[in-house]
Amino acid sequence: MALAHIRPRAAVAALPLAIPVALAAGGLLVPLAYLALRAFEADLATVEELVLRRRNAELLRNTLLLAAALVVTTTAIALPLAMLTVRTDLPARRLFDVLLTLPLAIPGYVGAFVILAATGPGGLYPLPRPSGFWGALIVLTLITYPYQYLSLRAALLGVDPALEESARSLGRGRLAAFLSVTLPQLRPALLGGGLLVALHAIADFGTVSLLRYETYSFAIYLQYSAAFDRTYAAWLALLLVALTALLLAGDWLLLRRLRLARTGTGAPRRRRPTRLGRWEPVAVAAAALPPLVAVVLPLVALLDLASRFPAGHAAGLREAFGNSVTAAGAAAAMSVAVALPIAFTAARARLPGAQAVERLAYVGYAVPPLAFALAWVFFTLRAAPALYGSLPLLVFALSLHVLSEAMGPVRAAVRQASPRLEESARTLGAGPVKTFVRVTLPIVWRGAAAGGALAFIGAVKELPITLILAPLDFSTLATRMFSYTQDAMFAEAAPFALAIVGLSACFVGVLLWTERTFSS
């Protein structure tokens, strides 16, 4: 009998998947581990002195205060808005869905810039200029409430109206039924959205440093840029990471308890929308206010300031634009190249814990970018000095930071590419390579493009990692704008901010296009 083409059994195509997965895991975890090592290099007395400083308590109090206040303000805005768009006959609800999430496109430092440049005496908006805590809270509220809004909106859509109806038939009034039946069901969504908002507050760097509110991030940057006591900076970064980990763990514990307490929901019937009647104009105004304040007013201010842009700076703008596109483009491509194998491993590998690999991508999202960048500084200075301040390092760190953004659409696309299709191709005579090129790739490429667009937007907007890891003469739109703003050169800064917003808008266009072709 002929033994034709027999191949020995091997782990199925393990290597092409394992390398990117290991790259992501190593890139995220090794610098953080090194950060801890670096921090504990100091002798015990120094550590005690560094950690138990009065200033640390102040920083902790400031950081937690901002996070807590932000969760309250964003929820206070998002819950009524979600109720309006989900449960009432608000006109143009689809449009409001889009408008209400637009503020996500405004980076925090742009918001802070608008407050500094356009309020106060002589500003375009002659209002008292908020700064410190209140300034940071206002800016962060306006740009992060969409996280809570999207989370609550999804949860409200999933609530079975029959539950509230049965509460009504059991004798509860409209408000009592909402409070006793619906609100408890929203708790997981409130926690989920609240976590995102709080993570944002803890990790935020641009807003707090421009508005001079001393949180961990701000203090770390001060240490890094001015004093640069490395051990103290390492400790602050480590404490910031620890705070993030505590928050995640607490949220996970709370959420787990809630999940256990819930029963199956099934596919709820659609609820009849509540009629707004004569309240309709008020409701429309209320729903239009957040996007107006968070997007329209800043854009008007930016345009107004940009009209006074000194023409001599145009070359700098062009150069920064090119640098931003280069760095963000490379980072986006790299994050997609890493996200694809991770999604495949999670979807296909018959290994226990394969899904955990996917969650790894979200570590990059949760780790405060400033701490992450600092960890890379320490790590490369020790392990690979040639990498320090090099473009490849910046691109790699950025790609890990935006990996979770690329992950979403890529994951959905990979789930769509049924293994049956690839198996069909194999039985039709196509080898693994031909199968990937002719079957898998055409099915997942739109998801990959959408993930790449999201990652690109994230990388263009990113500030602290770029600020710390970029090569000396390499300035991007974000870093140029930040330094002009610090020097109160508002007219010079404005076009950079506009360019960032414009680039983001272009890629939102790509995103909408891929979604359209997806659904056809």
Binding status of residue 129 toward other proteins by CB under 8 A? no
Q: Quick check: 125 and 301 in contact, CB under 8 A?
A: yes
* Structure token pair of residue 236: 């602050």
> Cβ 352 to other proteins, closest distance in Å?
10
> Cβ 427 to other proteins, closest distance in Å?
4
Binding status of residue 421 toward other proteins by CB under 8 A? yes
Looking at residue 408, its amino acid is: G
Binding status of residue 515 toward other proteins by CB under 8 A? no
Binding status of residue 174 toward other proteins by CB under 8 A? no
Binding status of residue 264 toward other proteins by CB under 8 A? no
Which residue number, 46 or 517, has a Cβ lying nearer to other proteins? 517
> Cβ 453 to other proteins, closest distance in Å?
20
Which residue number, 259 or 350, has a Cβ lying nearer to other proteins? 350
Binding status of residue 15 toward other proteins by CB under 8 A? no
Binding status of residue 169 toward other proteins by CB under 8 A? no
Which residue number, 128 or 431, has a Cβ lying nearer to other proteins? 431
Looking at residue 434, its amino acid is: K
> Cβ 442 to other proteins, closest distance in Å?
4
> Dihedral angle at the C-alpha atoms of 344, 350, 351, 353, nearest 10 degrees?
60
User: What residues numbered 55-114 form the site for other proteins, per CB under 8 A?
Assistant: none
In whole angstroms, give the CA distance from residue 305 to residue 298: 10
Looking at residue 163, its amino acid is: L
List, as one string, the DSSP characters of 299-315: HHHHHHHHTT--GGGHH
Which value, in Å, is the radius of gyration of the alpha carbons in the chain?
25
In whole angstroms, give the CA distance from residue 505 to residue 76: 28
The stretch near other proteins (CB under 8 A) out of 6-14, 188-196, 238-246, 457-465 is 6-14
Which residue number, 5 or 54, has a Cβ lying nearer to other proteins? 5
> Cβ 8 to other proteins, closest distance in Å?
5
Q: Quick check: 204 and 107 in contact, CB under 8 A?
A: no
Which residue number, 128 or 352, has a Cβ lying nearer to other proteins? 352
> Cβ 441 to other proteins, closest distance in Å?
10
With CB under 8 A as the contact rule, the residue among 48, 58, 423, 487 that binds other proteins is 423
Which residue number, 362 or 445, has a Cβ lying nearer to other proteins? 445
Q: How far, in Å, are 289, 389, 419, 420, 425 from residue 428 at the CA level?
A: 58, 50, 14, 12, 5
Binding status of residue 472 toward other proteins by CB under 8 A? no
Which residue number, 10 or 311, has a Cβ lying nearer to other proteins? 10
With CB under 8 A as the contact rule, the residue among 2, 15, 52, 386 that binds other proteins is 2
User: What residues numbered 430-469 form the site for other proteins, per CB under 8 A?
Assistant: 430-432, 438-439, 442-443
* Structure token pair of residue 283: 């409701």
Which residue number, 54 or 420, has a Cβ lying nearer to other proteins? 420
Q: Quick check: 390 and 471 in contact, CB under 8 A?
A: yes
Binding status of residue 3 toward other proteins by CB under 8 A? yes
> Cβ 356 to other proteins, closest distance in Å?
19
In whole angstroms, give the CA distance from residue 146 to residue 32: 30
Binding status of residue 44 toward other proteins by CB under 8 A? no
Mutual angle of helices 54-87 and 132-158, in 10-degree steps: 40
What is the DSSP-derived secondary structure letter of residue 88? Answer: B
In whole angstroms, give the CA distance from residue 236 to residue 368: 12
Binding status of residue 424 toward other proteins by CB under 8 A? yes
Binding status of residue 9 toward other proteins by CB under 8 A? yes
# of chain residues touching other proteins (CB under 8 A) = 26
Which residue number, 212 or 438, has a Cβ lying nearer to other proteins? 438
Binding status of residue 516 toward other proteins by CB under 8 A? no
Helix (H, G, I), strand (E, B) or coil at 274: strand
Q: Quick check: 370 and 221 in contact, CB under 8 A?
A: yes
User: What residues numbered 180-219 form the site for other proteins, per CB under 8 A?
Assistant: none
> Cβ 14 to other proteins, closest distance in Å?
15
> Cβ 4 to other proteins, closest distance in Å?
5
Which residue number, 73 or 440, has a Cβ lying nearer to other proteins? 440
> Cβ 249 to other proteins, closest distance in Å?
31
Which residue number, 355 or 424, has a Cβ lying nearer to other proteins? 424
> Cβ 214 to other proteins, closest distance in Å?
54
In whole angstroms, give the CA distance from residue 28 to residue 128: 43
Q: Quick check: 291 and 100 in contact, CB under 8 A?
A: yes
Helix (H, G, I), strand (E, B) or coil at 378: helix
* Structure token pair of residue 156: 């409200």
In whole angstroms, give the CA distance from residue 117 to residue 122: 9
> x/- binding map, residues 401-420, to other proteins, per CB under 8 A?
-----------------x-x
Tell me the three-class secondary structure of 442-477, residue by residue: HHHHHHHHHHHHHHHHHHHHCCHHHHHHCCCCCCCH
Binding status of residue 6 toward other proteins by CB under 8 A? yes
Q: How far, in Å, are 15, 117, 125 from residue 122 at the CA level?
A: 62, 9, 8
Q: Quick check: 479 and 103 in contact, CB under 8 A?
A: no
Q: Quick check: 70 and 137 in contact, CB under 8 A?
A: yes
Which residue number, 242 or 428, has a Cβ lying nearer to other proteins? 428
Residues at the interface with other proteins (CB under 8 A) = 1-9, 418, 420-421, 423-432, 438-439, 442-443
